[in-house]
Homo-oligomer: A and B are copies of this chain.
């Protein structure tokens, strides 16, 4: 059986995660990584090409996995590459998804290619959980908690504070809030009641730690609406204990059926590495996109359009026999 030929666009944490995930899937083959850097400066397990050469791979690569960022890379690359390749991306600027979908759909429909946008875990698996749970329990309430995990945006915000040399921020769901939700009591929460923000900060020599702590805790948008914990540590401790990129979260729906019967559906993730997990999601969706494109499907799609059977390397017969 010939393997599904994959290309990676962008070789940051996500791209590297995809490279490793493909190794776990025998029916896939990584053909090349495309980068805006000088290819000879990039050390990877396969051929590395400059972005400007990507069109040469039009008839070689079955699915292109776009691993760039949502802020500037994907809005441009998404539609552009969809006009040449079947693509998959993890576009996660929630407010702009309809607009992004329309531009990728237009490009892919015209080119006769198929593009899956906004997959990963949120958007992605969490989105699927929400739709499934609400469809089953239309009368109910849904809660999403994120973490414990590193928030890149909040870590960046810490590092911009004067006197801060380095820092990492964890978003932590508050256990008592989770328990309230699970009890089915349909609580309403303020922002402060759902998540805690825990910061590990390396201060510059001689910096005013009290001032740093105050500046972080009162920072509007990022920290002011939360209970925030600031821990000063050394650069060595930061490297030793906080260099991973864990994340995760919970999607819980509690609802009622019949005459007031309580029902609860919960989906949760605990991820040792956010980018590696997201990469693994992208890779199994590549299998689905490859199969659907072969059937002639074109345009843009989302996780809501993809049946789970297409994600698995196993045949429909095997799935029915062993997984139902």
Interface residues of A (CB under 8 A from B): 17, 20-21, 24-25, 94, 97-98, 101, 118, 123, 125, 127-128, 130-132, 134-139, 182, 248, 257-259, 261-273, 276-277, 279-281, 284, 287, 302-309, 311-313, 316-317, 319-321, 323-324
Contacts and interface: CB of A to CB of B under 8 A. Distances in A.
Given A17-B258, A127-B323, A280-B257, A308 B132 contact: yes
Given A98-B321, A263-B270, A304-B309, 4 more contacts: A17-B257, A118-B324, A131-B312, A304-B319
A12 to B, nearest CB: 14
B309 A131 contact: yes
Top 3 A-B pairs ranked by shortest CB distance?
A304-B309, A135-B311, A261-B272
A320 B98 contact: yes
B132 A311 contact: yes
B263 A272 contact: yes
B21 A257 contact: yes
Contact of A94 (B272, B273, B324): B324
Contact of A280 (B128, B137, B269): B137
B136 A258 contact: no
Interface centre among A134, A303, A323 (most CB of B within 10 A): A323
B302 A273 contact: no
Contacts of A263: 269-273, 276-277, 280
A264 B270 contact: yes
Contacts of A304: 307-309, 312, 316, 319-320, 323-324
Given A94-B324, A97-B324, A269-B265, A281 B136 contact: yes
Contact of A308 (B131, B182, B313): B131
Given A127-B323, A263-B271, A276-B257, A139 B98 contact: no
Given A24-B257, A311-B131, A123 B302 contact: no
22 contacts: A17-B257, A20-B257, A20-B258, A20-B259, A97-B321, A98-B321, A125-B265, A131-B311, A132-B311, A136-B284, A136-B311, A258-B276, A261-B276, A263-B273, A264-B269, A264-B270, A266-B267, A266-B268, A266-B269, A304-B319, A305-B309, A307-B307
A295 to B, nearest CB: 13
A279 B308 contact: no
A204 B308 CA distance: 51
A94 B319 CA distance: 12
A280 B97 contact: no
A25 B101 CA distance: 29
Nearest to A267: B267
A313 B139 CA distance: 13
B312 A134 contact: yes
Nearest to A248: B264
Nearest to A316: B304
